[in-house]
Amino acid sequence: MGCSSRDEAYMQRALDLAANGIGRVEPNPVVGAVVVQGECAVGEGYYARFGGPHAEVVALAQAGQKARGGELFVTLEPCCHHGKTPPCTDAVLAAGIRRVVVAVADPFPEVAGRGLAILEEGGVQVEVGALAGKARRLNAAYFKRQKTGLPLVIAKWAMTLDGRLAAGSGESRWISSEASRRRVHEVRRISDAVLVGSGTAIADEPSLTVRHVEPFPERGQPTRVILDSHLALDPTCEPARTAGEAPVTVYTSAAALVERGGRAEALRQTGCEIVTVPPADAGLLLTAVLQDLGKREMSRVLIEGGSRVFGSFFAEGLVDRVMVFVSPRILGSTDALGAVAGPDGRGLLEAFEVADLAFETVGPDLMIQGRVSEF
């Protein structure tokens, strides 16, 4: 049965509320809820911090007695198990809600349809599917971790209008405008890790920290991840130099750890964590890197370079989203790097398609976002 425009309007409001929790509640999902009595919203809420009250509970508390006989619009199936908080299904039944509209079911094994069943058994009318696509996209990181155990991977780069990253002199960090750089820091703020290859780390000495905006207090700085198959990272330079202030994890091979034990110890002395993963033809086994990050309950990984790292992640089908800033300048240099390096010979039939494109002007730049995977 299709959803009415009325249901979609209230669900859109719940989705807008849910978005306020991005970056604050992970690895849990973001959730928003609206309690409606007649044609009036009498209570609203969202999941605001990890371990805090759930959206349904906040919305029901705001509604109070006005919730009885009303409707609840919620972006994710209400939980039915005891975690850090009591089951939301208990709160919904106790409030006397007559109808619950849910965007999507929760894939978490301890819920996974049981919350919906409990409500129906309690005499509540339950409907699922209002703005389901939007709800899945909003919680893409959560849905991906539940299905695959891997974090959501976002590839971000800035380039000139003729598709160039740098002129070989470290200018790549300034291709985009200050407004665009601020936007990138907003994404860093909600990411668990910012990842680059050792070539980018050595050439640019990036800090990879959140600076143009304030980090969320409950999250702090993201982990700075360096892919370094030969342990070439200099412990006296960024980002290793400040590993004691913001975490740095260096992924390398077991062979490099044996061959360059002294370098590994020097990196550890600065505070870097060294993790070994199996080697691959182009460096390190990227699936093993993402599996390790997933085991650490990381939800979002932001890749910021370089072109060979981008190429490797794309070639392995490991990129979920792209975020590209296009500067209105033409470099016109054959020596400048392209955005994504990869094997020659790929034709248009093998090209990676980007769906759900969104365009936005950020300062003088054009920001293009899109989805590469099912997430």
Judgement on whether residues 85 and 230 belong to the same structural domain of the protein = no
> pLDDT > 70: what percent of the chain?
95
For residues 101 and 96, give the distance between their C-alpha atoms in angstroms, rounded to a whole number: 15
Judge whether residue 172 has pLDDT over 60. no
Last residue of some domain: 108, 138, 168?
138
- The answer to whether 299 touches 289, Cβ cutoff 8 Å, is no
Nearest to 53 by CA among 70, 35, 78, 36: 78
Judgement on whether residues 112 and 202 belong to the same structural domain of the protein = no
pLDDT value, residue 351:
86
pLDDT value, residue 207:
96
pLDDT value, residue 345:
59
Poorest-confidence range of 69-73, 106-110, 245-249, 344-348? 344-348
Question: Residue 44's domain spans which residues?
Answer: 5-138
Judgement on whether residues 117 and 216 belong to the same structural domain of the protein = no
- The answer to whether 71 touches 36, Cβ cutoff 8 Å, is yes
Nearest to 267 by CA among 259, 277, 280, 257: 257
Judgement on whether residues 317 and 209 belong to the same structural domain of the protein = yes
pTM score: 0.92
What's at 286, amino acid-wise?
L
Judgement on whether residues 227 and 308 belong to the same structural domain of the protein = yes
For residues 362 and 360, give the distance between their C-alpha atoms in angstroms, rounded to a whole number: 6
Last residue of some domain: 138, 160, 185?
138
Q: What is the CATH number of the domain that holds 341?
A: 3.40.430.10
Q: When comparing pLDDT for 1 and 222, which is higher?
A: 222
| Distances from the Cα of 264 to the Cα of 68, 203, 225, 255, 276, angstroms | 62, 19, 15, 12, 11
* Average pLDDT value for the chain: 93
pLDDT tens by residue, 287-312: 999 999 999 999 999 999 889 999 99
pLDDT value, residue 87:
87
Cβ-count burial of 50 within 10 angstroms (0-12 exposed, 13-18 middle, 19+ buried)?
middle
Last residue of some domain: 138, 159, 177?
138
Domain count, the chain: 2
Q: Positive or negative, the Cα torsion across 276, 277, 283, 286?
A: negative
pLDDT (average), residues 175-185: 94
Judgement on whether residues 198 and 131 belong to the same structural domain of the protein = no
Nearest to 253 by CA among 225, 224, 289: 289
Annotated catalytic, 120?
no
Judge whether residue 168 has pLDDT over 70. no
Poorest-confidence range of 17-21, 118-122, 135-139, 343-347? 343-347
Judgement on whether residues 249 and 354 belong to the same structural domain of the protein = yes
Judgement on whether residues 215 and 328 belong to the same structural domain of the protein = yes
Q: What is the CATH number of the domain that holds 107?
A: 3.40.140.10
Judgement on whether residues 107 and 218 belong to the same structural domain of the protein = no
Judge whether residue 178 has pLDDT over 80. yes
- Which residue is catalytic, options 44, 56, 71, 77? 56
Judge whether residue 89 has pLDDT over 80. yes
pLDDT value, residue 167:
53
pLDDT (average), residues 242-253: 97
pLDDT value, residue 350:
78
Judgement on whether residues 26 and 92 belong to the same structural domain of the protein = yes
Judgement on whether residues 133 and 153 belong to the same structural domain of the protein = no
pLDDT (average), residues 97-115: 92
Judgement on whether residues 129 and 13 belong to the same structural domain of the protein = yes
* Residue spans of alpha helices (H) in 139-220: 140-148, 178-189, 198-204
pLDDT value, residue 375:
94
pLDDT tens by residue, 43-53: 999 999 998 99
